[in-house]
Structure formats: structure tokens, C-alpha cells
């Protein structure tokens, strides 16, 4: 193993979920995901379309609510309230970013935590910090883990990479990836020793070179080079960055300089085709879990 294909792992998960959804449909239960898209941001449109395709593969019903970029915050809150009260909807995703006149924090907090399949509602993140829901990724969990961190865990587990007892360094402390991921890795059942680095960390290379598993989620193109990495380490690249300001020559790259690091590591995820597909797969996973919480098999 050298290059870890998130695409391959996500396809396996999607097939597992397809079979689960078939079992639900035999009981006349159809998992339903409502996606709210505000405005016409091109990247957001691509993300929403990818989620729609994944729903179709699995058999999840996908509802799209397309709203004008000039919608008021109160009008958007009214849409969220309607979805919260719709018993046929099991998961709600409001695609971020939102227009600048809308407070994202207020919108996220309005989503019913039991339908927060993105796993970023403060109540779900608080439950994560309490560590009282069992091991992430178990079939029935009492709340939703954030999709990208959960995808990273699935990559590690399904690639048979040892987590328990390993020293894992997470570069990045953001509230949706780095911070929750570091907590998830340290939970009972995961049992990793976790260090977080960020832009203000001193001697960052010395810290990252101690990592058995190095996870880059800092949002800086090709930030991690071979002199950040211990010989034989596992590197997980969460970054998605454009490599050029000239949009006609844009290329998607990660936070890791893949070519520079490749020969030094034992395993590495590429960008694209690494963590990205896993985020969509885990969104589908959380949607099915939301449905099963309401209608246990």
C-alpha cells in the first residue's frame, strides 16, 4: 500500500449503504436528504451535484431547495424551520458558504440536531467533546460526527492503519475538521495520542516529524513537504486548494506536496481522490443513520 484511494473506499461504503437502504425500503421507509443551496456559487453547485449523484446511487431521496442569493436571513430560517418540522425529511444540509449578509452560525444552530447530518451543530459537537457516544462509525450512534473527520477515520480503519497507541499530529485546528478530528482520534476506542499544530506553532517541523500519522488540514497549498515528515509515516491530506490564480489553469492540490513526500511515506492520500469522496460518503452514511434512528431496523 502506498497511495490510498478514497474513491475506492467511498464506493465500498456507498454499496454498503445501498443495501441498508434496500432493507429500509422493504419496510416502506425512504431515507430523505434535503439540501439547501443559497445563491449560485459554482463550487457549491458542484458539491451539491456530487451529493445528488451519491443519493441516486444509494437510493436516498434527495430534495433540493434552491434559493436566491438575496434571500433574507429570516426567510432562510423559515425554510429551515419548515424542514425541521417535515417528518418525511431525515437529514438537512445547508450548503456553506452562505452570502455575507447571512450569519452562518445562526443558520447552523437552527437545524434540528437530530437532522444535522453535517455534524456541525453545537449540540452535536458538544456531545463529541463529552465522548459519551461510543466509537465513531458504529452502526447506531447517538449523534452525528462531522463528515470529513469521520471520513478520515474510515480511511485509516479500512486501510488497516494502526490508530491505537499511534502518535497522530493534526496540522490545523478549524472547528469543522482539525479540532473535532483531534478529539475523535483520542476517544476511547480510538486511543491515539494526538498533537495539534497550527499557524502559530513553534518548531512545527520538529513536531510533525514525530508523527506516525500526519494529517494536514491547514488550507495552504503544498504546505507539507518531505522535511515535515518522518520516514515511513502515513500522511492524510485533507486540503483542497486551487494552485493558480489564473482560473483557466486552475488545478486542485492538497496541503501536502504529494510528489515531494511520496517516496518518504508508507501510505498517502492523493488530492483529488483521497479525503474528498469520503466526505460525501459519510454525509450519506449520516443520512441513513438519521433515518435508522427514527425507524430502527
Kindly state the cell numbers that stand for 104: 452562518
> 44 with 100, same domain?
yes
Query: What does the longest C-alpha to C-alpha distance in the chain come to?
Result: 57
Question: Annotated catalytic, 118?
Answer: yes
For residue 249, the model assigns a pLDDT of 58
Question: Annotated catalytic, 51?
Answer: yes
Sheet with 234-237: strands ordered across:
193-197, 167-171, 213-216, 234-237, 267-268
> 80 with 188, same domain?
no
> 268 with 156, same domain?
yes
Q: What percent of the chain has pLDDT over 70?
A: 93
Number of domains forming the structure of the chain: 2
For residue 250, the model assigns a pLDDT of 67
Among 86, 112, 138, the domain-final residue is 112
> Within 10 Å of residue 282's Cβ, how many Cβ atoms?
29
Q: Which of 93-102, 172-181, 193-202, 243-252 has the lowest mean pLDDT?
A: 243-252
For residue 184, the model assigns a pLDDT of 93
pLDDT digits (tens, 9 = 90+) for 67-78: 999 999 999 999
For residue 71, the model assigns a pLDDT of 97
Asked if residue 259 has a cis previous peptide bond (ω within 30° of 0), the answer is no
For residue 89, the model assigns a pLDDT of 97
Catalytic hit among 116, 118, 212, 237: 118
Residue 179, domain extent: 147-276
What are the Cα distances from residue 79, in Å, to 21, 83, 85, 181, 293? 27, 6, 10, 30, 23
Task: Decide if 181 contacts 213 (C-beta within 8 A).
Answer: no
Between CA 197 and CA 216 the distance in angstroms is: 10
For residue 140, the model assigns a pLDDT of 44
Catalytic hit among 95, 116, 222, 237: 95
pLDDT at 16 over 50: yes
Q: Answer yes or no: is 137 within a domain.
A: no
> 78 with 176, same domain?
no
| Higher pLDDT pick, 207 / 1 | 207
Q: What is the value of pTM for the model shown? A: 0.92
pLDDT at 63 over 80: yes
Question: Annotated catalytic, 95?
Answer: yes
3-state secondary structure of 115: helix
Amino acid at each position: 500500500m502506498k497511495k490510498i484511494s478514497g474513491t475506492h473506499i467511498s464506493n465500498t461504503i456507498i454499496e454498503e449503504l445501498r443495501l441498508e437502504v434496500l432493507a429500509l425500503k422493504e419496510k416502506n421507509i425512504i431515507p430523505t436528504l434535503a439540501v439547501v443551496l443559497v445563491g449560485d456559487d459554482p463550487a457549491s453547485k458542484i458539491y451539491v451535484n456530487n451529493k445528488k449523484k451519491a443519493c441516486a446511487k444509494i437510493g436516498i431521496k434527495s430534495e433540493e431547495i434552491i434559493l436566491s442569493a438575496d434571500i433574507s436571513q429570516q426567510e432562510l430560517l423559515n425554510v429551515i424551520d419548515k424542514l425541521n418540522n417535515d417528518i418525511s425529511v431525515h437529514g438537512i444540509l445547508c450548503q456553506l458558504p452562505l452570502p455575507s449578509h447571512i450569519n452562518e452560525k445562526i443558520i447552523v444552530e437552527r437545524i434540528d440536531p437530530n437532522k444535522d447530518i453535517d455534524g456541525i451543530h453545537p449540540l452535536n459537537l458538544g456531545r463529541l467533546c463529552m465522548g459519551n457516544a461510543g466509537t465513531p462509525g458504529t452502526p447506531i450512534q447517538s449523534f452525528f460526527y462531522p463528515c470529513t473527520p469521520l471520513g478520515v477515520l474510515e480511511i485509516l480503519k479500512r486501510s488497516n492503519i494502526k490508530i491505537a497507541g499511534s502518535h497522530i499530529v493534526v496540522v490545523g485546528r478549524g472547528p469543522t475538521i482539525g479540532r473535532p478530528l483531534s478529539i475523535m482520534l483520542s476517544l476511547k476506542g480510538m486511543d491515539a495520542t494526538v498533537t495539534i499544530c497550527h499557524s502559530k506553532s513553534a518548531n512545527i517541523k520538529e513536531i510533525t516529524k514525530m508523527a506516525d500519522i500526519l494529517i494536514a488540514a491547514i488550507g495552504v497549498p503544498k504546505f507539507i513537504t518531505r522535511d515535515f515528515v518522518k520516514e515511513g509515516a502515513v500522511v492524510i491530506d485533507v486540503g483542497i486548494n486551487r494552485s493558480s490564480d489564473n482560473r483557466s489553469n486552475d488545478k486542485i492540490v492538497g496541503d501536502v506536496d504529494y510528489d515531494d513526500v511520496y517516496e518518504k511515506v508508507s501510505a498517502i492520500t492523493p488530492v483529488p481522490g483521497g479525503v474528498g469522496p469520503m466526505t460525501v460518503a459519510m454525509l450519506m452514511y449520516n443520512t441513513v443513520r438519521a433515518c435508522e434512528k427514527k425507524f430502527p431496523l
